[in-house]
A and B are shown apart, each in its own frame.
Chain A
Amino acid sequence: MLDRHEIKLHVDRHLKKARAAMQPRVRSAFDALVQERGLLSADPERYFGPLGHPVFELPVWVARRLNNEGIETPNEALSDLLGVSALGYLHVRAQDDWLDGPAKEEPTLIAVAEALIAVSIRLLASVVGTSTRFWGFYSQVFNAYAESLLETAEVRRTEEPISRSVFERLLKQSGPLIIPSAALLDRADRWQLRQPLEEFVQNATASSQLFNDLTDLYLDRDTGHRTWTTDAVGELAADELWLEAARAAKGMPGGAIQERISTALTFHERSARAARAMEMTAAEGWLKGRQAALESLPGTLERTMVATFVRRMAESGQLDLSSRNRGQAKKGMTQ
């Protein structure tokens, strides 16, 4: 079965192949998207972080799960599904970037999304053929995705508070991540594993989204991008969050940050249960890595904050001194 190095090789090969088939304008837009996301970079670590979604590893974990009961997935089929993972992921990113972007009349991202989904469907068809079961599911996933895309736009236009249920509905935008792995289940006729697989994808995505929303809290607040986290923390409380982080370091419990991290951990634990329910043992290392990253977050946050605090104080002293020196120099010039 493929290791991370091999997975990256397959992903990169499909990206390059798709690029070669594109026409000039679309290719240029594709290049920008690939560069912006950091794909085709030499660093394999960036493809497999514990806090990002396991876009590229998930189909391999599922293939290993099937292999454990004697169902072999040909390398070519697995490679094609890694292509679907990469191109399908970029398709979703392109549409999301378009939705987030300022110029809705600019069609570049929509055009590249069209090109990506076309290649992705061709690769899927090579694995599942004309399976009514799979394509019915595909249609259902993309209908939910489309609805979620429009709901996101609607939420951004209004002042409607983003509650947990809205957050969970908007996450349907990540639904297509299941497609390559669902294709494997269909091909192997193990469709009964689809339910825990969906549970896994949904909860793993919710967990990483909450982590991202926490680290992006101030960026989102400054750009007016509302999330469940910006709404839950609130405008005034955000200015006092540092105090809460400092108090948490002294062992004082509770607070909005702790609550966000605990919720991310709850989603993570649900994803781990789903992985166990479908005996996806190959995911264990990644699940442990994510658990550790989330559990250590308060401590890591505190250490990073204190280090930055000291650095900023020292810098302020230096700047202070230089501004006084500038003042004295000016005085000297006028004397």
Chain B
Amino acid sequence: MTTAPMGDGYLSDIPGELVVRAQQDMDFALKLLNRDTRMDAVSDAGLELSEEQIDALHASLDQIAGMSFQDALQTLKDVGVTRMM
């Protein structure tokens, strides 16, 4: 797995296997995104992580998910000329 040190914000402990699989399978990505089903996704990918790694993974993915949500809202913004206030 990717084991770069923390310190670059959300650039942290996300196993490469999870990233590759999320890119190939949107259902898997959704499972990984949702904190309630995230560990199922980790198991599906056949990974065994220590408690410390799991905590770091949650922290990183939560941060990425929060930013992704904000990005998604901006993407959906009405850009028409008659946008109100």
What size tier do the contact residues of chain B reach? 35 or more
- The majority secondary structure among interface residues of chain B is helix
What is the chain A residue whose CB lies nearest that of B26? A306
Would you call B65 and A249 a contact (CB within 8 A)? no
CB of B48 within 8 Å of the partner chain: no
Chain B residues 36-85 with CB under 8 Å of chain A are 36-37, 60-61, 64-85
- The majority secondary structure among interface residues of chain A is helix
Knowing A246-B30, A320-B8 touch, does A215 contact B69 (C-beta < 8 A)? no
What size tier do the contact residues of chain A reach? 35 or more
Would you call A312 and B73 a contact (CB within 8 A)? no
Residues of A within 8 A of B61 (CB): 313
- Partner of A250 from the list B37, B64, B71 (CB cut-off 8 Å) is B37
Chain A residues 21-63 with CB under 8 Å of chain B are 37-39, 41, 45-49, 51-56
Query: Which stretch from A115-123, A184-192, A203-211 is at the chain B interface?
Result: A203-211
CB of A317 within 8 Å of the partner chain: yes
Residues of B within 8 A of A262 (CB): none
Would you call A323 and B36 a contact (CB within 8 A)? no
Residues of B within 8 A of A205 (CB): 84
Residues of B within 8 A of A219 (CB): 74
Residues of B within 8 A of A300 (CB): 76
Q: List 5 A-B contacts (CB under 8 A).
A: A39-B81, A52-B80, A304-B76, A305-B72, A309-B29
